[in-house]
Amino acid sequence: MGKMQHSAQSMHSNPIPQFRDLRRVPMCSQCNLPLKVMKQYRCAVVGAAQGVLTVAVTDWRDPSLIGTLTELTGHPIFPVWVKPSRMRLLILRTERWVLRKHEMLRWPHPLNLVQIHTIMAVSAYQTREKK
């Protein structure tokens, strides 16, 4: 009985649902909020349905946060609460992914130079064979 009272009290103290098993920000949701905003407000978009963004937040008591995020994204916000330690990991993973993405897209990439050299060598060889 004590456990039920404790869970009932915790539900009343936190009016938004808790997202306990969140491990990664979905790829399709990563572009909704810039990393700088995620770090500043300790939040992350974790889903979207029918034009409403589901946003994981660590501070559910801040009434201005939902309004700010609504203005930034242009979409209504459905907040879910995650532990601050979980959010820190989410933001670190997202930050690593963003850095890797920029590294992979940087030009010239050494692998691309090797590919270009190989293509040019094969093309030159084929040209000589035709003569």
- Domains of the chain, residue spans: 17-106
pLDDT digits (tens, 9 = 90+) for 50-86: 999 999 999 888 879 999 999 999 999 999 999 999 9
- The CA radius of gyration of the chain, in Å to the nearest whole number, is 23
Residue 57 belongs to what H/E stretch? strand 52-57
pTM: 0.64
Give the per-residue pLDDT at 1.
39
Closest Cα to residue 90, out of 67, 60, 57? 57
Q: What residues pair up with 45 in beta bridges, in sequence order?
A: 55
Give the per-residue pLDDT at 84.
92
d(CA 15, CA 89): 24
d(CA 45, CA 79): 9
Give the per-residue pLDDT at 128.
77
pLDDT along the chain (131 residues), means of 10: 39 70 72 88 91 90 90 92 92 85 64 74 80 66
Give the per-residue pLDDT at 66.
92
Give the per-residue pLDDT at 22.
76
Q: What residues pair up with 81 in beta bridges, in sequence order?
A: 18, 57
CATH topology for 17-106 is: GMP Synthetase; Chain A, domain 3 (3.30.300)
